[in-house]
Chains A and B, each alone.
Chain A
Amino acid sequence: AQSVAQPEDQVNVAEGNPLTVKCTYSVSGNPYLFWYVQYPNRGLQFLLKYITGDNLVKGSYGFEAEFNKSQTSFHLKKPSALVSDSALYFCAVRNLSPGANNLFFGTGTRLTVIP
């Protein structure tokens, strides 16, 4: 079975400071990992993905994530936070069961960037 865990419900960071939103995964095999962001009353927007290749993945809006196999982590990072980054962030892993293609989502981390 595949799953992801987001250990922090809430992350607060000052504008201009670096931010990290944590995600750990549990999969049998090579993981397909994703980060999505959700603004209030909106759908999810794709930020970035890891399928294979470089462990550091760059995505939209200046976000990046580092795939760490030994720690089974896929933390989302940004060097300098903006107030507009305040939103709900979801980590997800693709279902690798035969015939399946859905995503399993974490419970989400609410990021608040303080001006």
Chain B
Amino acid sequence: NAGVMQNPRHLVRRRGQEARLRCSPVKGHSHVYWYRQLPEEGLKFMVYLQKENIIDESGMPKERFSAEFPKEGPSILRIQQVVRGDSAAYFCASSSLGESYEQYFGPGTRLTVT
């Protein structure tokens, strides 16, 4: 019973490059969330997606960041032209709405921008 999978676990990018982070939800879950955690801080919500739809992107920076959850395949968080301030741990979570509301988290992708 696989949980949320994220890859890569560690990603190093130079300033100006693109970063692509992938997330495969728990099998059967159709809701995906992306959160960002800066060192020694709590998680901050970025975006909430269902298959082929962005439901809530109120936590996404207005520029350079985008997310998708296609009909087939993993959810992708894409950061264009990365800057040092993008260095953080990015966590994906999934849930299945119903009587249970807890979100299951992946191990995270640690992005380092040099």
- Interface positions of A (Cβ within 8 A of B): 32, 34, 36, 41-46, 49, 51, 90, 94-95, 99-108
Contacts and interface: CB of A to CB of B under 8 A. Distances in A.
Contacts of A36: 105
Given A43-B108, A44-B43, A108-B42, A103 B103 contact: yes
Interface of B: 4, 6, 31, 33, 35, 40-45, 48, 55-56, 58-59, 91, 93, 95, 97, 101-108, 110
A35 to B, nearest CB: 10
Contacts of A43: 4, 6, 91, 105-108
Nearest to A101: B48
7 contacts: A43-B4, A101-B95, A102-B35, A105-B35, A107-B42, A108-B41, A108-B42
A43 B33 CA distance: 13
